[in-house]
Amino acid sequence: MNQQEVVATYLIETPHSLEHAAAVIAGEQSSGTFVSVPGETNELKERFSAQVRSIEALETVDAPSLPGSKAPRDNASRTRYRRARVVIAFPLHNFGPSIPALLATVAGNLYELQELSGCRLEDVELPPAFAQRYPGPGFGIEGTRRLANVHGRPLIGTIVKPSIGLSTESLSKLVGELARAGLDFIKDDELHADPLYAPFEERVRAATGEIERSADETGRKTMYAFNISGDVDHMLRAHDLVWKLGGTCVMVNVNSVGFAALAHVRRHCQLPIHGHRANFGAMARHPLLGIGFDAYQKICRLAGVDHLHVGGFNSKFYESNDEVGASIRACLTPMFGDYRAMPVLSSAQWAATALPIYAATRTIDVFHLAGGGIIAHPGGTAAGVRSMQQGWEAALAGTSLEDYAKTRPELAAAIEKFGGRA
């Protein structure tokens, strides 16, 4: 690809001709006003215009997916809506390698246009200038495995539950139990950052203390992702506290703080950034609106997340297993060398979920998080952790879960308790 352009792929729907709709997008996002204005020379247009690279016609439908589109006047009584995949190239010199400027260009006002009854940014290809500006994941897969000391299998983790309401004392006790039960990873809930009833600093002191004590006993230090999401100054202070106390991970709700704040945290960060995507559905759940995960995860990785949530297989969320599998593969696709992020699976996960995940992705470079699926295991948390590991062992061995469970009581107990949900 041309090293001096950004190439964006859109899924669009329009009551106009596909050529006209594509030209409107290219015009709106490079130079556009409703009448020609002085200074808008042909030479200028040529150097700075976005270029429509391809239009792949898809199906035509009778009703618009989104409100507010306007059909061409001569056509209003028998309007149909054409869908297409459109590829548009934007000259990099129009905006430079800045994530906020990129977003204004490849997304921005597009979604408002009357010429479109559907518009989704599906993917974006970025030139190397972005890698010169943004260092990307500071730890990535290798750095995370090294810090967590987990190799040859997924990181098995859990989320502190109940997400809301635990006192610092209860948290301390819980973290001690979880760490001693053999969990590789513990994380705060995305709802839980710096609440009034259990301030961040108290929580971090309590949890890191327990993790250190447990590590002294077991020889293994559990990684804990402390949710530092908040105002910019808070995040920097919160990171510094975690780092100072020996913590090994911080969590950021990417959409709650925004990409500029995430990239700013990354520049100051000495720890892996666990990227949560809460709120992603608001811009992604409608198939003809917003920003798709392929585009989204690239920007997250560029801005510096080391881990990125992708939903779960057989989860309580709306995405299909196929979509979640594609999201896992997307995070692991090389970009600018090793700007890869480790995908994080969660939501209604348990031991059995390992098999369809592995079948769909053939990777072990994931976090596999379970809440109830681990700590509500009939044999207790340690048995829950073992059952998750056994699920992955079965997946890697190509054995059925039931066969593998015959000689593994933890897995057998998990199947008995949670099997109705698989």
Q: Give residues 30-59 in contact with a second copy (rule: CB under 8 A).
A: 30-40, 44-45, 47-48
Cβ-based neighbours of 401, under 8 Å, separated by 6 or more: 351, 352, 355, 391, 394, 411, 415
87: β partners: 9, 54
Site for a second copy in 384-413 (CB under 8 A): none
Q: Is 264 exposed, middle or buried (0-12, 13-18, 19+ CB in 10 A)?
A: middle
Distance of closest approach, residue 403 Cβ to a second copy, in angstroms: 26
Annotate each residue in 333-372 with x if it binds a second copy (CB under 8 A) or - if it does not, as one string.
---------------x----------------------xx
Please select the residue that binds a second copy; options are 110, 148, 250, 341, rule is CB under 8 A.
110
Neighbours of 363 (CB within 10 A): 17
C-alpha to C-alpha distance for 119 and 362, rounded to whole angstroms = 32
Smallest gap from Cβ 232 to a second copy, in A, equals: 4
Within positions 114 to 143, which residues make up the interface with a second copy, using CB under 8 A?
114, 119
Length of the chain measured in residues: 422
> Among residues 39 and 334, whose Cβ is nearest to a second copy?
39
Q: Please list, in sequence order, all residues whose beta carbon lies within 8 angstroms of the beta carbon of residue 407, skipping any fewer than 6 positions away.
A: none
Give the long-range contacts of residues 218-221, CB within 8 A, separation 24 or more: 218/179, 218/180, 218/182, 220/149, 220/182, 221/148, 221/149, 221/248
The token duo for 323 is 């979509």
Tell me whether residue 165 is exposed, middle or buried, using C-beta atoms within 10 angstroms of its C-beta: 0 to 12, 13 to 18, 19 or more.
Answer: exposed
Q: Which of 71, 141, 155, 289 binds a second copy (CB under 8 A)?
A: 289
Amino acid at residue number 323: E
Q: Angle, to 10 degrees, between the axis of helix 321-332 and the axis of helix 293-303?
A: 30
- Tokens in use for 142? 């290798």
Interface pick for a second copy out of 6, 26, 86, 103 (rule CB under 8 A) = 103
Q: Of 80, 285, 362, 406, which one interacts with a second copy (CB under 8 A)?
A: 285
Q: Which is closer to a second copy, CB of 7 or CB of 148?
A: 7
Q: Which is nearer to a second copy, 159 or 364 (CB)?
A: 159
Listed ranges 7-15, 286-294, 330-338, 406-414: which one lies at the site for a second copy (CB under 8 A) = 286-294
Least separation in angstroms between CB 362 and a second copy = 25
Exactly one of 52, 87, 89, 263 binds a second copy (CB under 8 A); which one? Answer: 263
Q: Which of 188, 306 has the CB closer to a second copy?
A: 188
Least gap, CB of 211 to a second copy (angstroms): 18
Site map for a second copy, 156-175, x if CB under 8 A? ---x-xxxxxx---x---x-
CB within 8 Å of 15: residues ≥ 6 apart: 64, 69, 70, 71, 72, 75, 79, 80, 81, 82, 115, 117
Report if residue 378 touches a second copy, rule: CB under 8 A: no
Asked if 226 interacts with a second copy (CB under 8 A), we say no
* Tokens coding 274: 């666990």
In this structure, the strands spanning 155-159 and 249-253 are: unpaired
Examine residue 66 and tell whether it contacts a second copy (CB under 8 A).
Answer: yes
Nearer to a second copy, 134 or 224 (CB): 134
Among the residue ranges 201-209, 239-247, 318-326, 406-414, the one whose residues contact a second copy (CB under 8 A): 318-326
Q: Is 87 in the site for a second copy (CB under 8 A)?
A: no
Closer CB to a second copy, residue 148 or residue 251? 251
- First-last CA distance in the chain: 43
Site size toward a second copy (CB under 8 A) is 102
Q: Which residues of 76-108 are buried (b: 16+ CB within 10 A; e: fewer)?
A: eeebebbbbbbbbbbbbebbebbbeebbebbbe
Name the segment binding a second copy (CB under 8 A); options: 7-15, 136-144, 185-193, 392-400: 185-193
Q: With residue 82 as reference, give the H or E element that holds it.
A: strand 81-91
Q: Which of the ranges 14-22, 203-211, 260-268, 396-404 carries the binding residues for a second copy, by CB under 8 A?
A: 260-268
197 is an interface residue for a second copy by CB under 8 A: yes
